[in-house]
Structure 1
Amino acid sequence: MKFGRWMALLAALMVSFAVRAHGSWQEHVADMTEVMGLREEPRLRAWMKFISSDMIDKCEPFYSELKARHEGFACKHRLLFHWGYDAEPWSPELEARVVRYCREYDLDRDSTLRLFRSEMVAEQKRRNALLNRRTEELFGFAHGGRDAASARFFASVAYNVHLVGDYTSDNRDLAGLQSLDRVVRSLCHALQDLDPVAAKPLVKALERVGREEPDLQKRADALLALLKQQLPDFIRRAQGGAIRRRLEARGFAFR
């Protein structure tokens, strides 16, 4: 399909999806459900809420513990855990806030930055371990090998779809979010890990949207529409249909 026709299709899809305000976990869960193409049910909804609310938007108890260790430090919640599933747990905005904190309290800049980075890495590792285990249990994947990689795919897609949703045109405040390009790279990496051959067309389409649409919020709208339109079929076909059969054996149904 020519790129011009593809962008026209995306525009039509965005209208049909009726952009919603991403002010709550429910809106992010609605996006995740459409992107995966699975029929909504309580256990799937609980898992998606866990990702959106507990793994991304909920900063406690880590934030209180961080402030207790670094008296006087404070930041907005989006500077924490909005980094992308497998991205570096850091951002220019967070670094700027830590640097300002060092100036305010006359602290050594380099050592304090290293300490903050190490704390973010440790907490991201802890949260990802919880997320991976919860995902394996939900979908019936083993804790290791190819099964673990399949679980990471679903965790990554759900996590990163939340971040794409934070960028869409119904949002007013983008401060503190991970670079949208890095979120897309994380999504592409997850697709390629699950099935590198079947992923090629979708990866190319995602990368093309990133190159052709300079406006961040319009790009996020287009990315989300593209994922909702194409990712369900990718999941059905991945690994020669093995993923679909695993999901159906677990009692999940596609829309």
Structure 2
Amino acid sequence: MLEGLVLGTIFATIILFLVLFLAWRFRAVLIFFWHEKILVSFVNFLSGMSKEERILSWVKEHAMAGNPQSVLDAIDYYCYNTEWAMNVGDIKGVIMDRIVEEAKPRVLLELGTYCGYSAIRMARLLPPGARLFTIEFNESFASIASQMIQLAGLQDKISILKGSTQEIIPQLKKKHEISTVDLVFLDHWKDRYLPDTQLLLESGLLRKGSVLLADNVICPGAPEFLQFVRGHPRFQCTHYPATVEYLRMRDALEKAVFLG
């Protein structure tokens, strides 16, 4: 009997260490699951609003109309202090700012609009005449992003294209009269990073010097995309270590310059 208790204790200890190891190993997934599934569902039920609607309401109340930086600051404050959200955020945003300023793009393409944070962040740096096209599949997100962009006063620089990337990217040349894009920001479904990059290539939308900038390449991660651009002779890559927006978790941006 004593031997059975000892074996049972050893087995339980092994199981406990295994659970703790798996929890640590997949902590990023658990944190995302907590924020995006459990916590947000509970708050949605109590408030009768979606998280994105709550962010918009906060920004309308606290941001200065016509001031893009004020809108960004209001979103950052809310996401640091009230609810996490999947914007690029202020820390990685500084890296993004530098890349946009270096690239001096006239035509930008964003894959994944969400609440409009990154579109506003990039568009506020554009010179007169430059244009940003952002693709969003979710109708609710597109509506909220449109209101954010209007509040920031950047509606003349940003066009929201509603639909899937695989549907819209091949239409960009004919339907939207875009010959090539100077900068592409990838921040949508991570399993779409690679096929959409290949679609951009197949559609002839990349010119020599076009820049791909991809967010969240470590967390939650886009390994197939990284393997493709880093191993492709026509891309020159730069890795920018950072942390997940509003959380102290390891992440990074990846810049891939198309060499033509």
Per the shorter chain, which TM-score range?
A: under 0.3
Q: Which has the larger radius of gyration?
A: 2
Which one has more relative contact order, counting CA pairs under 8 Å at least 6 apart? 1
TM-score using structure 2 length: 0.25
Higher helix share: 1
Higher strand share: 2
